Each structure stands twice: as C-alpha cells, then as structure tokens.
Structure 1
Amino acid sequence: MTERKKSHKGEGHRSRLREKFLSSGLDGFHDYEVIELLLTLATPRKDCKEQAKALLKRFNTLQGVIEASAEELQEIKGVGPRNIFGIKFVYAVVERYLKKKVIKKDPIRSSTELFNYLYHTLRDKKKEIFKVVFLDAQNRIIAIDDLFEGTLTASAVYPREIVQAALGHHAAGLFLVHNHPSGEPKASHEDKVITRKVIHACRVMGITVHEHLIIGDNTYFSFADHGYIAEMNREYEAQGL
C-alpha cells in the first residue's frame, strides 16, 4: 500500500471518529479512541491508533495518560512535543472549567459533595497536595488554591499563609483538603496537629474552618464527620482566646 493510500485511509478513520463524537459525544468510545482523537489534534495527517494503544498500555487508563508527565509521555514512540502540548492543554482547560463552574454557585453542604468535586484533581497524584477552598458568608466557593506540596508535616504547612490567603480572598470560611498518595485516607497524627493549628489561627481572625478532607483511592476521611472539627473548636474556646 502506498503512503498516499495509507494517508487517505487514516484520514477516513479520523473523520469517522470525529463525526461519531460530534453526533453522540464520547458514549461508545473506547479509551484508546479518545486518546487517538487527542493525538490527531496535533497530528492531523497521520494514523495515531498505534500510539494511542501504546499510551494506554503504558499508563493503564485514560486518566493515567492525561495525568502523565511530559517526560513520561515522550517515552512512547511517535508521541512528540505537539501531541504532549495537546494532551496537557486539554487537561488544563477541563480543570479550569470545573474549577470556575462551582465559583459562587450553590454552597457545598456535605463532605460527600466536596469529595465528588475535588477527587478528580487529586486522585493518583504521586505527592501530597494541600488545597484550601475559600468560602463566602453563604458558604459558596470564592476560590481554590493549592498552597503546599510534598510531604505535609506540621512544620511544612503554615497556618499564617492560609489565614493571609483567606483574608486576601475576603473569605468567611474555608475547607482544607489534601490527598494521601498511598490511597489510604486515614488521618495521621500530623494531619490532626495541622488541622488544630489552622483552626485556632483562623478563629483568631474570625474565619471558620468547616472541614478537613483527606482524599484517598476512591474514598475519603472527613474531620467534620468524625467530630474532630467540633472538638478542636471546643479546645480553642476552652483556652479563652
């Protein structure tokens, strides 16, 4: 088969995938076909099925491909800088869309709602990320900041920075959220120390900490649901500060 015929065959395949997506979204698509469509954005005249399947084999899931680092993606033969840019750009657009979608919308009323919103941003991360969700007086989300990364200990998370960020956003309250890369969300001693320090620092400034959620592998630990938030607030009040 000549290169011209191969190119024509590949173009027909890509056109069918695009038409299928435009008519019914991603319903009925295999994950490798979704990846293939992503790759064709940067490689419009080349069959990308082989690379798509290689990516899926290497990273196991669609999410694994999208969240892989540029260095890891480059290890796959036929995946170049333009393909990597396309994957990373689409991922960043989706993250921004989801983040903006909840700003000033209905308040989050439960740990489950908070988990459902933030799980996709923290699952499968290889290091701990400490997010703070800032709220207005009606408990609607004002902003979400990633404030700390790495091994999160009581000496690595600074309550003062959290308070300063809250004041900068004119927040009345906040949620603390971080992940456990191990997949086990059980609260450690360090997690409890951090939470207590942040609650007390925020109380001084009239800011309410409503929750500290630890996200694991498709599950979570809620400080509020387990009574720790209320207990730590009582400790603060007992000190007469």
Structure 2
Amino acid sequence: MAMKSSPLVENKLTEIKVIDPQVTAPKLRKPHHVGHRQRLKAKFDRRGEAAFHDYELLELLLFYAIPRVDVKPIAKDLLTKCGSLLGVFGASAQTLKEVKGAGESVVHILKLVHTLIGRSMQENLQGKTVLQSWHQVIEYCTARMSYNQQEQLRLLFLDQKNQLISDEVQQVGTVNHTPIYPREVMRRALEVNASALILVHNHPSGDPAPSKADIELTLKIQEIGAQLGIKLHDHIVIGKGKHNSFKAMGLL
C-alpha cells in the first residue's frame, strides 16, 4: 500500500535545491593587483624606462620589498611626500616611514639604492681630472647630499693632477649648522697627501645661498691652505636640486 507524504514533508522537499554538477559557481574576482606585477615587469623588459612614469618605476622596485600587496599607492605617496625620485632615495628613514605602508623593508631597499647610486657616481669620478668633469662633480654631490635633513661637510681631496684621492664626510651637524674646523680640514688634507681640495656642504632648507659664516670659514680655510701649499678650488653649497659655487660667485 502506497504511503502518502504529509503536506509538511512535501513543503520541505520543495525547499531542497538540487545542485547540477555541470553548473559551476562563479569564480571569485581576484584583487586587481594580482597579475599587475608580472605585466609591469614584462612591459619594462619589452619597452624599457621610456614607457614608464616615475611612480611605475618605483612600483617595480617596491615589488621586491613588499610581497602580495598593491604598492602603486605607496609609490605615488612617496613621490608626493618627497617631490621626486631623488628625493625619495635621499629622504631620511623617518620621513619615509611617515608614508602609509612604507615600513622597514621599504626603507632598507630605498636607502640601499641611494647608496649604490652614490657609489657608482663616485666610481665614475675616480681617475678623472675633477676640474674637467665639473658637471659630474655637481651631479654626484647633489645625489649624495641634496635631500639630507642634517647639514654635513664633505671634503673632496685631490692630487697634483686634480684627480680625486678621497671623498669624506668630515662633519655632520644640525638642520641649519655644521661645525667646520679649518685646522682639522687641513690636518686631514696633509694626512692623505692632498695638493688641493673642494669643500661641499648642504643646506636642508633647500636654499643654497651661502651664509656670512660660510663665507668667513671658507676664506679662513683658503688662507691656512695657502700657507701649507694646499689649494682650495671651490666651496659648493647644495640645496634641493640646486647649488651655488663660491668660485662662480666670485667669493674665491
């Protein structure tokens, strides 16, 4: 004898959905940056830097510092914060960390690249007559010092042929002052057997105009150097992407 199901059971049965194995659920959408990294790398390999905005080149570098994250906003924020690629590489760790997403790994890779840029440019000066490679000297000093947030004194010691013997940071000061000791400058020049030197210091304010104190100290160093047979060729003041030369200004 056939048994009839109750209305309650029939209602429950109609609520059960039969899943057709041939019908697949829609795929979950991947984050938009998935695949972007490979596409950007391939574009660089294919077309080179000319096809890229600055933020895209910075993105490529940040890929190696931050895995599996969309780094485009970080790259753009770094450029906005620091003003330029050189500003990003030259910025202090503290400044870089003020950008959301820029942690220790980002700071590390940016400062490493900044060091490599400086080393390669310094290497390019070795064995050359510095006074005949003046544009390279300015580019080198700008890359090394332009965005430092503390004043520092850099000394370029030259031999009799005006070739670079040594490049040294002698003093690091505050945001607006570096203690310069003329006798210490000359003592070091004698130690490395220099025949001439170039002074370089930066102004974190960005304004490369020399102060009265800068001028007085420079003339004192020139005077002591003349007594010792060490010529002061120039004193360069580096601002943010700008510079002033004492020689060009008629101060030396």
Instruction: Give 2:192's aligned residue.
Output: 169
Give the superposed CA RMSD: 2.5
Instruction: Give 1:95's aligned residue.
Output: 118
Q: Return the TM-score normalized by structure 1.
A: 0.80
- 1:130 alignment partner AA: L
Structure 2 portions without partners, runs of 5+: 1-26
Taking the aligned partners of 1:75 and 1:87, their CA distance within structure 2 comes to: 14
Taking the aligned partners of 2:205 and 2:164, their CA distance within structure 1 comes to: 28
Which structure 2 residues correspond to residues 170-209 of structure 1 after superposition, within 5 A?
Answer: 170-209=193-232
Taking the aligned partners of 1:192 and 1:23, their CA distance within structure 2 comes to: 52
The answer to whether the 8 A contact 2:199-2:234 is kept is: yes
Number of matched pairs: 224
Taking the aligned partners of 2:108 and 2:139, their CA distance within structure 1 comes to: 28
Instruction: Give 1:45's aligned residue.
Output: 68
Paired residue for 2:93, among 29, 50, 70? 70
Instruction: Give 1:233's aligned residue.
Output: none
* TM superposition shift of 1:102: 0.7
Instruction: Give 1:236's aligned residue.
Output: none
Which structure 2 residues correspond to residues 1-241 of structure 1 after superposition, within 5 A?
Answer: 2=28, 5-6=30-31, 10-109=33-132, 114-150=137-173, 151-152=176-177, 156-229=179-252
* TM superposition shift of 1:96: 1.3
Taking the aligned partners of 1:66 and 1:136, their CA distance within structure 2 comes to: 31
Structure 1 portions without partners, runs of 5+: 230-241
- 2:218 alignment partner AA: T
Q: Return the TM-score normalized by structure 2.
A: 0.77
Deviates more, 1:180-189 or 1:108-117: 108-117
Q: Describe the superposition over 1:46-88 as per-residue Cα deviations: whole angstroms up to 9, x where unpaired.
A: 3322322232333333233222322332333333222221111
- 1:109 alignment partner AA: Q
Q: Describe the superposition over 1:158-192 as per-residue Cα deviations: whole angstroms up to 9, x where unpaired.
A: 11221122123221111111223333333322112
Question: Larger Cα Rg: Structure 1 or Structure 2?
Answer: 2
The answer to whether the 8 A contact 1:66-1:88 is kept is: yes
The answer to whether the 8 A contact 1:130-1:148 is kept is: yes
The answer to whether the 8 A contact 1:133-1:144 is kept is: yes
**Same amino acid, percent of matched pairs:** 37
